[in-house]
Chain A
Amino acid sequence: MSFDLDKWVAENSKGNIVFSFKGELSETMLTDLLQIVEDKLEDIDFSRKVKKKVYNVAIESLQNLFHHSDAIFLNGTKKKTAKYSVMFIKQDNEGFKVTTGNFVTEEKTVFLKKHIEKINSYNRDELKMMYKDILNNQSFSKKGGGGLGLVDIARKSESKIKYNFYSHKNSVSFFDFSIEIKQ
């Protein structure tokens, strides 16, 4: 059975949504969306320090979705395949939660699982070491490099990454990612 995207979106749309996006990202859209996120955060009465962290996480998350999503076949659309992705930012009294969803190939699933497990097992100092190691020792491509974005997200949010992979079809899985940024 393939993954039920609509159900996932419905389940994750509960709560106080500050920002949401569903669809295929383009470079110009990315620029506009970042501006929207910034404006929305600006209007919320919350500590500037936390809001800055949320914006940082939003930048890395949206750019991850843009660069690392894989195409799937979508029924009922003009385009046969699309790099469909989803992002939500929710807020409650304690802080914010950024959730993203996108489709990735088997190969990326293996890397992501290993990478996130490592990040989640590290404390603050170990994450700092990991960040510096990737920054200084690994080569970067146009798309970024070595999973530095996720390390940065974990460092800035100071919380553990929650994730899940749901198998879709043709060796493609849905990557469900979320992180909390609290006061």
Chain B
Amino acid sequence: MDPIKIEGTPKTPTVNFDGEKGKIEIKGRSIPENSIEFYKPLVDWLEEYMKSPTEMTEVDIQLEYFNTSSSKCILDVFKKLEAMYKGGNEVVINWHYEEDDEDMLEAGEDYQSIIKIPFKMMEIED
């Protein structure tokens, strides 16, 4: 399946979804007014990918800012990954946060407690 490559903007993140390598990456900022519009193609892609995923799917989330309308969409992405994980596929989510950004760490922990997939909290050092 075709990968997704989206360049980041001041309001939307850089997205790299590579089905062959099993690499999923969302980086930057996610603060659009209409997050559903931005995330719908990503969730649809995962829906397709989960039919025959690679043995191991590695997810990297590195967000500087995200708004609450994106928070629901990010949860939708994680729910697709959770379904894959429950189906016996290996999935790991690396949640990157800036040193001292306790809010971003806490946001990751919130997801970790909702989604039953192994999370790794990774501090980005200056």
List the interface of chain A (C-beta within 8 A of B): 27, 30-31, 34-35, 48-49, 52-53, 55-56, 59-60, 63, 66-67, 128, 131-132, 135-136, 140, 142-145, 148-149, 152, 155-156
Give the Cβ gap from A131 to chain B, nearest Cβ, in Å.
Answer: 7
How many inter-chain contacts with C-beta < 8 Å in the A-B complex? 64
Are A60 and B67 in contact, with the CB atoms below 8 A? Answer: yes
Q: Is B121 an interface residue (CB 8 A)?
A: no
7 closest residue pairs by CB, A with B = A148-B68, A140-B72, A144-B69, A149-B68, A152-B68, A59-B31, A136-B114
Q: Is B7 an interface residue (CB 8 A)?
A: no
CA distance in complex: A145, B34 (Å)? 12
Main secondary structure of the interface of B (DSSP, over half): helix
- Size of B's binding interface in residues, CB under 8 A: 22
Are B10 and A35 in contact, with the CB atoms below 8 A? Answer: yes
- Least CB separation from A152: chain B residue: B68
Q: Is B44 an interface residue (CB 8 A)?
A: no
Q: Is B48 an interface residue (CB 8 A)?
A: no
Q: Which residues of B contact A132 (CB under 8 A)?
A: 110, 113-114
Q: Are A53 and B103 also in contact (CB < 8 A) when A35-B10, A59-B31, A136-B114 are?
A: yes
